[in-house]
Amino acid sequence: MNVKWITFPARGDARGLLIPIESDDDVPFHIKRVYSLLHMQSGAVRGAHAHRKLQQVIVALTGSCQIKLDDGRAVEKITLNNPACGLCLEPMIWHEMTDFSADCVLLVLAAEHYDEGDYIRDRAEFLRLSEGAHI
Ligand code: TYD
């Protein structure tokens, strides 16, 4: 699977770190929505779905977690732990986030407004649709 990362132009100085993220520039789409995931409980699993069309970029602003990416053929398990690096979460990738550190804060940049119709939450449906996509 071709996992794509974006490195943001972090500016550190003696006071700390500033990480700008510009829509349509650092991120390859117009950002229409931003959401955060935080205060995850021990053992929590987030995600466990795919999107039909939505493009997203996910960043661990603090702390760390694991993200499993599955395109229906191959699975990649990746650590998110760098606030200056965003992972591109493409459409039709089943993803699950686990192993959250207590201080983990995830920032997600999304190309579209929230649309429940874009979600594939049923694993069997995802496998059926992704099989078609790989033919
Ligand atoms: P969901 O995407 O299922 O969370 P996760 O994949 O992290 O486990 O969303 C959880 C709930 O929040 C669900 O009821 C939909 C709602 N929600 C919004 O209202 N707006 C949003 O932008 C998102 C991502 C979720």
Ligand 1: which of 32, 33, 46 to mutate, judged by most atoms within 8 Å of the beta carbon?
46
User: Model confidence at 135, in pLDDT bands (50, 70, 90)?
Assistant: low
Tokens 């602003």 locate to: 61
Reported as a single tens digit per residue, the pLDDT across 76-124 is: 999 999 999 999 999 999 999 999 999 999 999 999 999 999 999 999 9
Q: Which domain holds residue 85?
A: 3-7+24-133
Please indicate, yes or no, if residue 45 is contained in any of the structural domains: yes
Q: What's the CA-to-centroid distance between 55 and ligand 1, angstroms?
A: 15
Stretch (H or E) spanning 67? strand 65-70
Q: What's the CA-to-centroid distance between 6 and ligand 1, angstroms?
A: 24
Report the C-alpha gap between 22 and 106 in whole angstroms.
17
| Ligand 1 binding pocket includes 114 (Cβ within 6 Å) | yes
Please indicate, yes or no, if residue 33 is contained in any of the structural domains: yes
Please indicate, yes or no, if residue 116 is contained in any of the structural domains: yes
pTM of the model: 0.95
Q: What is the CATH number of the domain that holds 126?
A: 2.60.120.10
Please indicate, yes or no, if residue 38 is contained in any of the structural domains: yes
Closest CA to 96 of 117, 125, 123, 66: 66
pLDDT at 56: 98
> How far is C-alpha 103 from the geometric centre of its chain's CA atoms?
18
| Ligand 1 binding pocket includes 37 (Cβ within 6 Å) | yes
pLDDT at 1: 85
Please indicate, yes or no, if residue 75 is contained in any of the structural domains: yes
Q: What's the CA-to-centroid distance between 37 and ligand 1, angstroms?
A: 9
Please indicate, yes or no, if residue 18 is contained in any of the structural domains: no
User: Model confidence at 133, in pLDDT bands (50, 70, 90)?
Assistant: confident
Reported as a single tens digit per residue, the pLDDT across 3-17 is: 999 999 999 999 999
Tell me the mean pLDDT in the region 37-60.
97
Q: Other C-beta atoms within 10 Å of 108: how many?
A: 16
Please indicate, yes or no, if residue 98 is contained in any of the structural domains: yes
Count of structural domains, the chain: 1
- Residues classed as catalytic: 49
Please indicate, yes or no, if residue 14 is contained in any of the structural domains: no
| Ligand 1 binding pocket includes 118 (Cβ within 6 Å) | no
